[in-house]
């Protein structure tokens, strides 16, 4: 989980095979403090969406190096290789690009890092795909066929075609390698513009757009998976749309999770609609329990003093909460770590994810810290939210790193897992099974991933959670709009 697979040495390769294309998700080093399981939760929607836009006379393949199946295929060499580039695996992406270019393939680099640092990426590619890739991919392949590949292609996220994009090419995925292949996206963009978020990257304009709820439900139904994960930045950003989507999902009898902001609890009817539609878990970026930190980051959110009450609303509707917390804001002192962990235990968050504040290149935060002389280096491999890359304001870099690691050690301990167990006794067995497999089994995950047993290992737990949630939904529906508390006697989720 630390080092990418070795690339083969020089060989006498045949010429690249025409009309054959390969899309690659490069390897990136895993944080041993976090769960290795999160890397195989769902596949990349970016690559499956681009694959779906491939003309039918091209043969398209996907390869994710993080599935531990070795280096990408090279027999035969594809005519075109598309590589997704994020700053944390930019070095690996460039290594792959050089390897395939040396063997005659035309290499296309795309992704957020290409958009934020095009001059860095340009020497490593035959062409750059900047911005929306679904638009530009067919054009790139057509130009390869005509022998007139351009140096740069730009796709806009502002065009109104988004709702008509083809469904992701999920049939190309190794189904046993993921907890679920039903990674879904119903909306694009976000109404927030937090200064540290990748959506604040210079040149990135992603207006809020929605797809048809019926289309999303049809995709979910067609994938034949009991559990789906919405990858939207904020599925609850538009309340009217959220209700329409939930109405479309409810007949499927499936369960799903999504990222939302905590203000979704402004409207308990929305939370109820999510529960009745199968939502069993939400990922919420609390980021900080210190209000001034959130104000400085331009994050629109309810007051942190009200977070606990709002978490209770989600819990009463059978929805588990995975909270995200960021350390290193200018208002954070060395006490922030223990305060955060104790709060998590007190409100019984089922799961939490920690991050060290990371100024991504091209964002307002990066520019400001660079202006202040606080950027420590530009080793992109360490811009992974698990390493300190800037000088904190109220503690040393070493103390910030130690505190981050202490939070994971403490929250993943058996004692903390037990203290955060659900109040409903019937939900405890599934919660403990999930926690132990997800949080305490980093020794097991490489074996499961390498042998493509992730799906089979998770499937019984997912099905147990789905059946429990169906019973909860029935009780919730029967109890009426005010009956969430009574229905929790059978609440559970993933």
CATH number for the domain including 305? 3.80.30.20
Do 248 and 322 share a structural domain? yes
Burial level of 484, CB count in 10 A (0-12/13-18/19+)? buried
Three-class SS state of 106? strand
Q: What does pTM read for this prediction?
A: 0.91
Tell me if 389 is assigned to some domain: yes
Indicate the helix (H) or strand (E) that contains 128: strand 127-131
Domain with 82 in it: what CATH number?
A: 3.40.50.2300
Indicate the helix (H) or strand (E) that contains 64: strand 59-64
| Residues of the chain where predicted confidence (pLDDT) is lower than 50 | 489-494
User: Which of 228, 49, 28 lies closest to 134, judged by CA?
Assistant: 49
User: Which of 266, 132, 277 lies closest to 209, judged by CA?
Assistant: 132
| Phi, psi torsion values for 335, nearest 5 degrees | -85, -10
Do 473 and 356 share a structural domain? yes
Do 323 and 240 share a structural domain? yes
Tell me if 11 is assigned to some domain: no
Do 239 and 91 share a structural domain? no
Instruction: Domain of residue 144: give its range.
Output: 17-158
Tell me if 31 is assigned to some domain: yes
Q: Spell 334-348 as b/e; 16+ CB within 10 A means b.
A: eebbeebbebbbebb
Share of the chain residues as helix, strand and coil, in percent rounded to the nearest 5: 45, 15, 40
Please say whether the beta carbons of 321 and 314 come within 8 A. Answer: yes
Do 137 and 190 share a structural domain? no
Strand partners, 187: 210
Please list, in sequence order, all residues whose beta carbon lies within 8 angstroms of the beta carbon of residue 228, skipping any fewer than 6 positions away. Answer: 180, 182, 183, 184, 220, 254, 255, 256, 257
Which residue matches tokens 């994938």?
223
Tell me if 486 is assigned to some domain: no
Tell me if 110 is assigned to some domain: yes
Tell me if 7 is assigned to some domain: no
373: tokens are 């002389």
Do 320 and 193 share a structural domain? yes
| Phi, psi torsion values for 257, nearest 5 degrees | -130, 165
Do 132 and 191 share a structural domain? no
Please say whether the beta carbons of 101 and 127 come within 8 A. Answer: no
Number of domains forming the structure of the chain: 2
Final residue in a domain of this structure, among 124, 158, 192: 158
Do 409 and 307 share a structural domain? yes
Do 247 and 135 share a structural domain? no
Strands (E), 177-298: 183-184, 187-188, 209-210, 227-230, 255-260, 279-287
118: tokens are 């095009």
28: tokens are 């990136």
Tell me if 127 is assigned to some domain: yes
For residues 155, 157, 159, 162, the Cα torsion angle rounded to the nearest 10 degrees is 110
303: tokens are 């007051």
Do 218 and 139 share a structural domain? no
Q: Is the peptide bond before 76 cis (omega within 30 degrees of 0)?
A: yes
User: Which of 388, 286, 405 lies closest to 347, judged by CA?
Assistant: 286
User: Which of 275, 343, 347 lies closest to 311, judged by CA?
Assistant: 347
Long-range residue pairs from 191-195, CB within 8 A, at least 24 positions apart, any chain: 191/234, 191/237, 191/300, 192/234, 192/261, 192/298, 192/299, 192/300, 193/298, 194/287, 194/297, 194/298, 194/299, 195/296, 195/297, 195/298, 195/363, 195/364, 195/365, 195/368
Do 448 and 304 share a structural domain? yes
Do 436 and 400 share a structural domain? yes
245: tokens are 């989507």
Number of H-type helices and E-type strands within the chain: 18, 14
User: Which of 133, 6, 163 lies closest to 71, judged by CA?
Assistant: 6
| Distance in angstroms (rounded) separating the CA atoms of residues 464 and 480 | 25
Tell me if 283 is assigned to some domain: yes
| Distance in angstroms (rounded) separating the CA atoms of residues 319 and 313 | 9
């Amino acid at each position: 989980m630390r080092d990418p697979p070795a690339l083969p040495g020089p060989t006498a390769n045949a010429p690249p095979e025409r009309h054959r294309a390969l899309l690659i998700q490069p390897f990136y080093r895993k944080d041993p403090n976090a769960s290795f399981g999160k890397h195989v939760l769902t596949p990349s929607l970016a690559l499956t969406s681009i694959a779906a836009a491939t003309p039918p006379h091209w043969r398209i393949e996907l390869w994710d190096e993080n599935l531990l199946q070795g280096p990408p295929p090279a027999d035969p060499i594809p005519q075109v290789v598309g590589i997704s580039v994020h700053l944390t695996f930019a070095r690996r992406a460039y290594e792959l690009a050089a390897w395939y270019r040396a063997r005659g393939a035309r290499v296309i680099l795309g992704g957020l890092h290409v958009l934020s640092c095009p001059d860095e990426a340009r020497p490593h590619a035959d062409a750059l795909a900047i911005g929306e890739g679904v638009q530009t991919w067919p054009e790139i392949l057509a130009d390869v066929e005509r022998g007139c590949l351009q140096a740069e292609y730009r796709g806009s996220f502002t065009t109104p075609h988004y709702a008509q994009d083809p469904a992701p090419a999920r049939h190309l995925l190794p189904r046993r390698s993921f907890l679920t292949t039903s990674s879904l996206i119903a909306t694009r963009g976000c109404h927030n513009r937090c200064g540290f978020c990748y959506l604040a990257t210079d040149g990135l304009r992603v207006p809020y757009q929605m797809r048809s709820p019926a289309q999303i439900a049809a995709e979910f139904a067609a994938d034949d998976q009991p559990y789906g994960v919405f990858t939207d930045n904020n599925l609850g950003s538009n309340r009217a749309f959220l209700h329409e989507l939930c109405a479309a999902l409810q007949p499927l009898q499936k369960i799903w999770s999504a990222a939302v902001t905590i203000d979704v609890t402004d409207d308990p009817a929305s939370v109820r609609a999510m529960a009745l539609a199968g939502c069993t878990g939400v990922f919420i970026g609390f980021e900080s329990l210190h209000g001034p930190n959130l104000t400085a980051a331009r994050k629109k959110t309810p007051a942190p003093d009200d977070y606990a009450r709002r978490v209770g609303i989600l819990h009463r509707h059978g929805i588990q909460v995975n909270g995200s917390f960021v350390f290193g804001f200018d208002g954070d002192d060395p006490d922030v770590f223990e305060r955060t962990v104790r709060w998590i235990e007190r409100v019984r968050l089922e799961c939490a994810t920690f991050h060290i504040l990371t100024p991504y290149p091209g964002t307002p935060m990066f520019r400001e810290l660079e202006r202040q002389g606080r950027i420590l280096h530009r080793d992109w491999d360490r811009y992974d939210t698990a390493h300190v890359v800037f000088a904190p304001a109220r503690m040393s870099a070493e103390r910030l790193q130690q505190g981050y690691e202490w939070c994971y050690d403490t929250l993943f301990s058996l004692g903390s897992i037990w203290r955060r167990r659900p109040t409903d006794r019937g939900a405890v067995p599934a919660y403990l099974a999930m926690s132990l497999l997800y949080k305490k089994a980093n020794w097991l995950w490489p074996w499961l991933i390498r042998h493509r047993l992730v799906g089979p290992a998770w499937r019984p737990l997912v099905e147990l959670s789905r059946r429990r949630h169906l019973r909860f939904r029935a009780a919730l529906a029967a109890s009426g709009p005010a009956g969430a508390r009574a229905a929790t006697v059978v609440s559970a989720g993933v």
